[in-house]
Structure formats: C-alpha cells, structure tokens
Amino acid sequence: MDYDVLNVFCGPDGRHGNELGVVRDGTALPGRDERQAFAATLGFSETVFVDDPERGVVDIYTPTLRLPFAGHPCVGVAWLLDVPELVVPAGVVGARLDGEFSWIEARPEWAPPRTLRQFGSAAEVDALAVPPAGEWIYAWAWEDEAAGRVRARGFPGRDDGIVEDEATGAAALLLTGRLERALNIRQGRGSQILTAPQPGGLIEVGGRVRLASSP
C-alpha cells in the first residue's frame, strides 16, 4: 500500500512536527475495518485516507479508532492536496496555504474531548511524567501571556502505543476557544502551532508541513 509520511506543525527550524500517514488513493482500502487495521499497522497518531482529492473528502483514523475531525491530519492533508476545503464527517473544514504555513478553519465543538490542564510554568509542563491511560490530557502553561505564547504537551491516554502526541491541532483549537485569543504554541520536542479566532465561532489553526517520505 502506497502512502506518504508528513511531519505536521514543524518548528521554525523545520524539525520535529507530528508524523502523519496519508493514503492518497483511499479506494485501495474502502472498508473501515481495513483502514483501521492499516492505521494500526503504521502506528502513527493519525492516518488519513483520501476518498476524493479534488473535493478534499478524507477519512481519519488513530491506531484504534476513527475520528470525525482532527487538527494535524487536516493541516497536513490540506498542504498535500492544496485544496480550498476538506470534507470530514464533522463538517467542511476551510483550508488555505500562506507562505510557509498551511491553515485550516474549524469549530472547537468538532474536536474530540480533551482535558485542558493548566500549570503554573513551562518548567512544570516540561517536567511532567506520562500520566496513566484513560484520559486525554493537554497540559499547558503560559510562556509569555501578553504575547500569547504557550508551552504544551499532549498525552492521549488511549493505551495504543502513542504515549505522547508531538503536536495536537484539535487540542490547540479547544484551548484557543477557551481563551478566546490567538496563540503561538510550542508543543512536544519543538513543534509549533499557531491559532487565531475567526468570526462566526470558527478558529484557524496553522503550521509548517514537511514531506518526510513518499512512495
């Protein structure tokens, strides 16, 4: 099975980012069970199957479940397909490319549940051990509140082999919705996520995307 591997939400130096598998020809694996098994085999935090590249219809899986929406897969596949919108089970996601950044526009209520847990300092977030499975925790702290700079780490808690998510667009979407302001988030080892509230309850989430490998 041919697939691309992208790094999504890379840092300013082009490093890091969350790995994403993209099967450009989703018709090669049409069944949900087949897709779920393939996503589990790849072992990335998410894998995307493209069902219609011109309309941007995509299907998103973790190693253990199908998602109606997810941030880093949408940002990554929007960059790869260069389309004005994506269609996911949750709704229509706006998409655009702007220089080195790929952006999506989505609603916070589309994001899967996350526990947003604030800490007193970036050092406290850095020192956290991986918590027990059972709860998706987005640990965050202000690095510079006036400038909107945030330090964050994401712990999926799904017991599927992904103990820490390097960069999490859906959680960034939820945090931006709660704080109601634009954010510059440093997550994981050095990934960067940018967000900005938009009219009508929408939020933009953007970052750099790099092609790590292709068929």
Torsion sign, CA atoms 59, 112, 203, 194: negative
Residues 120 and 174 in one domain: yes
The per-residue pLDDT for 164 is 96
Residue 167 corresponds to which amino acid? A
**Is it the case that residue 160 has pLDDT exceeding 90?**
no
Q: What is the pLDDT of residue 209?
A: 98
Mark whether 67 and 142 lie in a shared domain: no
The count of structural domains within the chain is 2
Q: Is residue 198 part of a domain?
A: yes
Per the prediction, the chain carries an average pLDDT of 96
Same domain, 12 and 97: yes
Whether 155 and 67 share a structural domain: no
The verdict on residue 124 lying in a domain is: yes
Q: Is residue 94 part of a domain?
A: yes
Same domain, 92 and 147: no
Q: Which residues pair with 213 in a beta bridge?
A: 5
Does residue 87 share a domain with residue 159? no
Do 155 and 184 fall within a single domain? yes
Domain that holds residue 187: 115-203
Q: Do 54 and 35 belong together in one domain?
A: yes
Q: Is 87 helix (H, G, I), strand (E, B) or coil?
A: strand
CATH number for 39:
3.10.310.10
Quick: pLDDT tens for 69-114.
999 999 999 999 999 999 999 999 999 999 999 999 999 999 999 9
pLDDT tier for residue 215 given thresholds of 50, 70 and 90: confident
pTM, two decimals, is 0.96
Does a structural domain hold residue 69? yes
Query: pLDDT digit string (tens) for 1-38?
Result: 899 999 999 999 999 999 999 999 999 999 999 999 99
The answer to the question of residue 163 being in a domain is yes
Mean pLDDT of all residues in 37-49:
97
- 158 pLDDT exceeds 90? no
User: Does residue 151 share a domain with residue 98?
Assistant: no
Q: Do 74 and 17 share a structural domain?
A: yes
Judge whether 49 lies within some domain. Answer: yes
Q: Are 157 and 124 in contact (CB under 8 A)?
A: no
Q: Are residues 97 and 17 in the same domain?
A: yes
User: Stretch 134-163: mean pLDDT, rounded?
Assistant: 95
Q: What is the DSSP string of 128-192?
A: PPPPPTTS-EEEEEEEETTTTEEEEEEE---SSS--SBS--HHHHHHHHHHHTS-EEEEETTTEE
Do 120 and 100 have their domain in common?
no
Domain assignment present for 54: yes
Residue 110 covered by a domain = no
The vertex-40 CA angle with 37 and 44, nearest 5°, equals 140
